[in-house]
Amino acid sequence: MFYRHLKGHIEALLFANGNPISADKFAEILEIDRENVSLLLEELKQDMANSERGLTICEVADGYQLCSKPELVDIIGRLVDVHEARLSQAAMETLAIIAFKQPVTRLEMENIRGVKVDGVVSTLSDRGLIHEVGRKDAIGRPILYGTTDEFLKCFGLKNLDELPNLAEFIDNNEKP
Amino acid sequence: MDDYKIKLESFEGPIALLMHVIEKNQVDIYDIPIAVVTEQYLAYIRAMEKFNIDIASEFLVMAATLLQIKSRLLLPKPPAMEQLTEEVDPRLELVERLLEYRRYKHAAGLLETLLHQREKLFSRPPRDFGTRLVLPDGLKLDDLIEAFAAVWESVVDEFTFIAREEISVQDKMQDILQLLRKHNGRMEFNQTIIRSGSRVELVTAFLAMLELIRLRRVRIKQDNSFGPIFLMMGEVVQ
């Protein structure tokens, strides 16, 4: 590996940015190709796993992000009271409908849940988990909703392609 | 005495409530015992009424649907209909809605799990790479004093008096008459503005013109609205 000296560069970039950085972006900044970026990231991740380090790299929202290791959640919890703003059951159900069925209109969500979803949809919007993705070609041109990158980050998903697998998983679990 | 307690969970909607009833009874969703389920569903609604919870109309619509399905299952079908149409389970539509709802309810559970996993990881919020303030180089104390002095001097009170233009209607009437004589007794109103051309002069000139008309010293003519006004010498009244 010729680019091993760039591992530190990658670590620094991840630290400085905070948000996930895509492989393309790394390739552009470091002026190396994508395959080498992936290799370097993998190696860096290994380094972090092997030694007594507190950080790791996770893949999320089509990028890589520096974060604390999951097993250290309790120790971080001692630092501060982690502020929790839980999503209600109604919000989770609606979000699930949007995530798996997107793009989807309010009416379609209401038909599944059997209740109005106006309040829940605006909560999810305010949280930045969903946004408008267009208008449906139907009477009244209703707004179509879809999930955001923030949604991927919140739920630790690499991209939306991970979702249909989940749908299958649910169907399989339903009918034993 | 009254040891009868109801723990009322709040139900988001009729489907959620119906789902709850079905799950509680552990019945097969594909073969719902409609009588039992309807009865329990209605019991919940009555309990809600008792606790003064406002019942949304959707709950009542569902209750009506359940009752309708129940009655359809009880009533014998007319023999003619039996031959014409294939037998469709009246519960089918409801079952499909319940299944779809359950699918997303499970999906919500899955998202919840993902969220919990993700919440164990802490990351930094994105750093704000905003403007970096750069202090100027090589400044000396003298520069500061100089800058202060410059500011200090500029604060000296400086007044300029702007005289207010005083044009009386009286003066303007004289103007107009003189100008009319000069222009052989006929001119345009615009031509009376001969001093500062200010709004005050314009208004004064107009008032003067009106006054002269009243005194019949001038006559005016305007061909159309907003068109030019022509002034002419009026007949001299002795």
A45 in contact with B at a CB cutoff of 8 Å? no
Give chain A's end-to-end CA distance (angstroms, integer). 48
Q: Which long-range contacts (CB under 8 A, 24 or more apart) does A102-111 make?
A: A102/A133, A102/A144, A102/A145, A102/A146, A102/A147, A103/A133, A103/A134, A103/A136, A103/A144, A103/A145, A103/A146, A104/A144, A104/A145, A104/A146, A105/A136, A105/A138, A105/A142, A105/A143, A105/A144, A105/A145, A106/A142, A106/A143, A106/A145, A107/A142
| pLDDT value, residue A176 | 40
A113 in contact with B at a CB cutoff of 8 Å? yes
Nearest to A135 by CA among A163, A115, A107, A161: A107
Mean pLDDT of A115-131: 91
**Higher pLDDT among residues A50 and B35, named by residue:** B35
**Which residue's entry shows tokens 């999810």?**
A124
CA distance B108 to B113: 9
**pLDDT above 90 as % of chain B:** 3
CB-based burial of residue B112 (10 Å sphere; 0-12 exposed, 13-18 middle, 19+ buried)?
Answer: middle
Q: Do B108 and A95 touch (CB under 8 A)?
A: yes
> Among all residues of chain A, which has the CA nearest to that of B57?
A115
| pLDDT value, residue B157 | 66
Highest mean pLDDT among A145-159, B124-138, B156-170: A145-159
Please list every residue in chain A whose beta carbon sits closer than 8 Å to the beta carbon of residue B105: 93, 96
Residue range B200-235, pLDDT digits in tens: 888 999 999 999 989 888 888 888 888 888 888 876
Q: Which of B11, B101, B121 to mutate to test the interface with A (most CBs of A within 10 A)?
A: B121
Mean pLDDT of A85-93: 85
CA distance B115 to A92: 11
What DSSP letter does each residue of B61-85 carry, written as one string?
Answer: HHHHHHHHHHHHHHSPPPHHHHHHS
Q: What is the biggest distance separating any 2 CA atoms in chain A, rounded to whole angstroms? A: 60
User: What is residue A129's DSSP assignment?
Assistant: S
Beta bridge partners of B44: none
| Closest CB from A95, A112, A173 relative to B100 | A112
Please list every residue in chain A whose beta carbon sits closer than 8 Å to the beta carbon of residue B21: none
User: Residue B237: which pLDDT band, with cuts at 50, 70 and 90?
Assistant: very low
pLDDT of residue B86 exceeding 70:
no
Residue B5 distance to chain A (closest CA, Å): 25
Q: Do B123 and A73 touch (CB under 8 A)?
A: no
The residues, any chain, with a CB within 8 Å of residue B169's CB and separated by 6 or more, are: B204, B207, B208, B211
Residue B13: how many other CB atoms lie within 10 Å: 21
Whole-Å CA distances, A65 to A15, A50, A167: 8, 18, 26
Q: What is the ipTM of this complex?
A: 0.77
Residue A129: how many other CB atoms lie within 10 Å: 22
The residues, any chain, with a CB within 8 Å of residue A53's CB and separated by 6 or more, are: A47, A69
Q: Do A114 and B16 touch (CB under 8 A)?
A: yes
Q: Do A155 and B103 touch (CB under 8 A)?
A: no
Beta bridge partners of A144: A134
User: Residue B53: which pLDDT band, with cuts at 50, 70 and 90?
Assistant: low
Strands A55-60 and A63-68: antiparallel
Residue A171: how many other CB atoms lie within 10 Å: 11
Give the pTM.
Answer: 0.61
Q: Which amino acid is at B167?
A: I
CB-based burial of residue B172 (10 Å sphere; 0-12 exposed, 13-18 middle, 19+ buried)?
Answer: buried
